[in-house]
Structure 1
Amino acid sequence: MTAVSIIAPVFGIIVIGWAAALTGLLSERVSDGLSEYVFAIAVPALIIGTLTRPGLTGEVTWSYWLAYFGGAGLSWLAGSLIATRRAGISRQGAVLHGFAASQSNTIFVGVPTILQAYGEAGAFPLFLLLAVHLPLMMGCATFLIEAEGGRSLVQRLRGLGRVLAKNPIFVALGIGMALRLAGVVPTGVARSLIDGFGSTASTCALVALGAGLTRYKVLFDLPGALVIAGLKLVVHPLAVWLLATKLFTMPPAYAGVATLFAAMPVGINAYLLAVRYRAETGLVAASVLVSTLLAPVTTVLWLTLLGRA
């Protein structure tokens, strides 16, 4: 399986979704509905189904966490420092620049791409990282943005807890890990329902992402968007790859999953956070679009480096 054959189905479906929305074949309501379905039902089902699958095994190593989040921290720091040198960028804006430069599009692009590249060998490290990535990255961004808002540490912790408790992805990860630890394996109708919904996750997610790209304006701040895209697609995965393969020791699939996870384009959560705090919305939206458009090329390069070509 070549690198191109791995990413062609993933980014091909994104292009089809984008073209369908651009020509009016799919409306914004369809895109919104698909996104909600993927986020609330399909991906949670995929997560629970994967984590409870018989024979899924793996190990938890500190080197895995340090490699990924060490690279994410470096990219975040670089993005924030670059933003502080630009005129008119607030402290909140600098945090969002860094967050966008280190927040991967895991649900819509990462999961389909990594499972396509590594299959069963990559499933456990993928969802293990996904379980920690969401609360840690969102938690850090929220804390940093609200640091000057006058809210106490307890209030911020409570707010973060409420957000995570309502997040279907986080809840599904909790359920899947609990069932796995308890040795419960869904069978019969329950397994059929879980697998039925889970099997739709990748295609629906990619169509929804492609259709949603028509909303973003790349010309809002193209130079800034290119900087963030470069940090996200090159600096972040390069740092993770160096840490995972040169400094630490871990199974090849773990190093590959961590690197590909980092190599994904800017995540939708960065845009949602920018909208919530009304800061750098246009730039972050442009970064999502630019990084997604460039990702097919850089992903082929990373897959080649990882020996998946």
Structure 2
Amino acid sequence: MHTVVSVVLPIFALILVGWLCRKSNRLGPNAASEINRLVVWLCLPALLFKVTATSSWAQIWQPGFLVAFTGGCLLVFFATLGWRLWQGRALPAASIDGLSASYANTGYMGIPLCLLVFGQDGLEPALIASLLVVCVLFAIAVVCIEVGLQSERHIGRAVAVVLKALLKNPLVVSPLVGGLWAAGGVALPAPLLHFLDLLAAATTPCALVSLGLFLAQKQEGPRVGAWPLVAIKLVGQPLLTGVLAYKVFALPPLWADSALLLSALPTGTGPYMLAEYYQREAPVVSRSILLSTLLSLLSLSLCLLWIAR
């Protein structure tokens, strides 16, 4: 429990800082939106580019782990997406709900937690999971949102509209450019790498402070619907991923345990970034992040007890 608390408390501290800054009017009513734009257009693209540009195929090629962890994420995402569409939600809102139920906080919580639990060996699965979450799951959600937002009826024009929107989206372009850079086999110059490090390091604190600022404002729109997403995230996803990791693919202990622990993490700030950026479902998403982070003290502790068996 102490291990989990030591990782979770700084998250609440950053959210609280943003909340206090808005309540005390140290930061204005537009601060949440503007800081989130900073994350979406500068910090997160720098992180995505750096991660993909500095990764090698040998590092990320762990087939069983890739399929187990990604399979758990995508199955939960599309199941939640289908459920929300069946309830009558529009595709953009349903996509953000699906992301809230499947987007694990692998970067800020997963990496330090795996290092604490598994030692240096835990860094590799945590990094691979972070790459999958931000470059695969996140990108699929962006595609679904853009498809839902386009209003063209002609299939050819519709595809053109979606592709044009995606090519303008920094969260899609940056990992693609990073992958092309990595394929070229050229190392990033030291000044560029340092520049990217500075921007990338600001991603999580800025996103969490922006979330706190948003929560301090009077929120318009529905807030109901967060609890099912939290239950799916903290119970459904780790159960599904655990079955894939332990039973279906019979992964080695380190990789199976890592897949389970990483899938049990609470919802990260990615869904909130998209909800705020696209002006969709932000109250529900912010509530999901807070509730899942708080309840993850219990769910992660149970996973640690299972791992220590």
Report the TM range for the smaller structure's normalisation: 0.7 to 0.9
Distance change >3 Å, CA 237–CA 32, structure 1 → 2: same
Give % identity: 19
1:299 maps to which residue?
296
**RMSD of aligned alpha carbons:** 3.5
Q: Shift of the alpha carbon at 1:68?
A: 1.9
- Paired residue for 2:7? 6
Alpha-carbon contact 1:71-1:240 (below 8 Å) kept: no
Code of the aligned partner of 2:15: I
Which residue of structure 1 aligns with residue 178 of structure 2?
A: 176
Q: Distance in 1 between matches of 2:198 and 2:101?
A: 23
Q: Is the 8 A contact 2:95 2:145 kept in 1?
A: yes
- Mapped to 2, the partners of 1:233 and 1:216 lie a distance apart of 28
- Counterpart code for 2:82: L
Q: Structure 2 residue aligned with 1:99, among 85, 95, 99? A: 95
Letter in 2 for 1:35: N
Q: Distance in 1 between matches of 2:100 and 2:278?
A: 15
Q: Encode CA deviations 1:140-176: one digit per residue, 9 max, x unaligned.
A: 3444676xx5613322222221222111122221122
Query: Does residue 143 of structure 2 align to residue 153 of structure 1?
Result: no
Aligned pair count reads: 290
Match of 2:144 in 1: 140
- Scaled by the length of structure 2, the TM-score of the pair is 0.77
Unaligned runs of 5+ in 1: 84-90, 276-280
CA distance in 2, matches of 1:131, 1:40: 15
Counterpart of 1:116, as a letter, is P
The correspondence of residues 32-181 of structure 1 with structure 2, limited to 5 A, is 32-53=33-54, 57-59=59-61, 61=63, 62-81=67-86, 83=87, 91=88, 93=89, 95=91, 98-104=94-100, 111-118=107-114, 120-121=123-124, 122-143=126-147, 151-181=153-183
Instruction: Show CA shifts across 1:177-219 (max 9, x none).
Output: 222222222132222212222222222221122112234638x
2:103–2:268: 8 Å Cα contact kept in structure 1? no
Structure 2: distance between partners of 1:23 and 1:107? 32
CA distance in 2, matches of 1:51, 1:178: 9
5+ residue gaps, structure 2: 116-122
Contact between 1:79 and 1:101, CA under 8 Å: does it hold in 2?
yes
